[in-house]
Amino acid sequence: MQAMTREAERAEQPLCLVLIDIDHFKKFNDTHGHLVGDKVLKFVARELNACVKGRDLACRYGGEEFALLLPNTRLEGAYALMDGIRALLEVQSKVEPSLGENVEGVTVSAGIASYVRGEPTEKFV
């Protein structure tokens, strides 16, 4: 993040951060067990990685939270990307077919921030 904020300042380019939380994740673990919960995490991670390109970075932020760092992306572009990801995840009917579990309703909530020149990374987050 520090490298990307420095680069955004140097190049005078936009940078967005998206924080993503899997909705009702505890319910997946309680209803289907931790193995399925792990599969939900992997499923979301795969989908996020498939949706980013170039220098965009998708990573796990902690627990059931993920982060996207989107260099050279304005707020509107970050919103459009996240809305597409949200819709894609919502229509998936199975997280891991090999488990024989039909895990429907994987939804996420997200917050999006645009980096302001000179702000500390803690404030950006």
Write out pLDDT tens, residues 70-100: 999 999 999 999 999 999 888 775 555 555 5
Global confidence as pTM:
0.89
The catalytic residue positions are: 64
The two tokens of residue 34 are: 């931790």
Average pLDDT over residues 19-41: 87
Output the CA torsion 76→78→83→84 (10° steps): 110
